[in-house]
Amino acid sequence: MIDVVTPDRYGDFRAQLKEMHRLRYRVFKERLKWDVDTQGGEERDQFDDCEPTYLLARDRTGGVVGSWRMLPTTGPYMLRDVFSALLEGRRPPYDPRIWEGSRFAVAHDIRARNGLVSPGRITAEIFCGVTEFCLTLGIREVLCVYELRVARILPLAGCIPQWQSRPYRVGNTIAVLGRFDMTARFLTDLHEHTGVSQSVIQSAPWLEEEQVA
C-alpha cells in the first residue's frame, strides 16, 4: 500500500523517509552503480530540498519497499535543470498541472513470467498510486526520465507514454524521457494489466480531511 507524504507530513513520516533514502542508496548506488550523492548509507540530492511529495510503498510489516518523488514543474526539477537534452529542443514545461516523477526505486520486484520480465506488485502499486495522486489533485501530465530497462516493462503494466524521447546516455546508463497523460482511462489500463483492482493509497492528506469531516 502507498502513503502520500506531502511536505506538511514529513515530521510524521521521519523514520519512513529515512528508510526511503537508504532504499535509494541500495538501488541507485549499490545496484545500478549510478554516480549519486550519498552520505551515511543514504542517497539524496538537491531536489529533495525542494519540498517534493513522496509516495512510499509499504509492505505488511510497515517497511518501505518502494518510493517515487513528485515535483511540480513550476519550481526546480531534474528534467529542466539536469536532463534538458532529453527535451530535444522543446521548452521545459512550466505548468501547475504538469509534474515530474523521479527517483523511482523498489526493492527487487521484477519477476520472470513465462520467460518474460514483468513488473511485480510493488511496482504496480506505485504506478497506480501515482496516477491516483494525480487524478485527485488535477495533475494532467507526468514527465519521467527512466532507463531503457524500465521502458521495457512499462507496456507490460499498461503504462504507455503519450510521447517518448530518443535514448540518451546519462552517466553510465541509457535513459529516455516519457510523458504520461494522467486520466481515468490510464488508471483503468494499469488495473487491467497489473491485476490491481482497488485504491492502493492507505494514507494521504485528503483521506485525513475526509475522516475529520
Over the stretch 67-124, which tens digit does the pLDDT of each residue have?
999 999 999 999 999 999 999 899 999 999 999 999 999 987 544 444 334 468 899 9
Domains in the chain: boundaries: 2-199
104, 125, 147, 176, 194 from 143: Cα distances, Å: 12, 18, 14, 11, 21
Phi-psi region of 200 (alpha: psi -120 to 50; beta: other; left: phi over 0): alpha
Q: What percent of the chain has pLDDT over 90?
A: 78
pTM score, whole prediction: 0.92
Q: What is the pLDDT of residues 161-194, one digit of tens each?
A: 999 999 998 878 899 999 999 999 999 999 999 9
Q: In this structure, which CATH number among 3.10.50.40, 3.40.630.30, 3.90.1200.10, 3.40.30.10 belongs to the domain 2-199?
A: 3.40.630.30
DSSP strands (E only) in the chain: 2-5, 38-39, 42-43, 53-58, 64-72, 98-106, 110-113, 116-119, 141-147, 163-164, 168-170, 173-181, 201-203
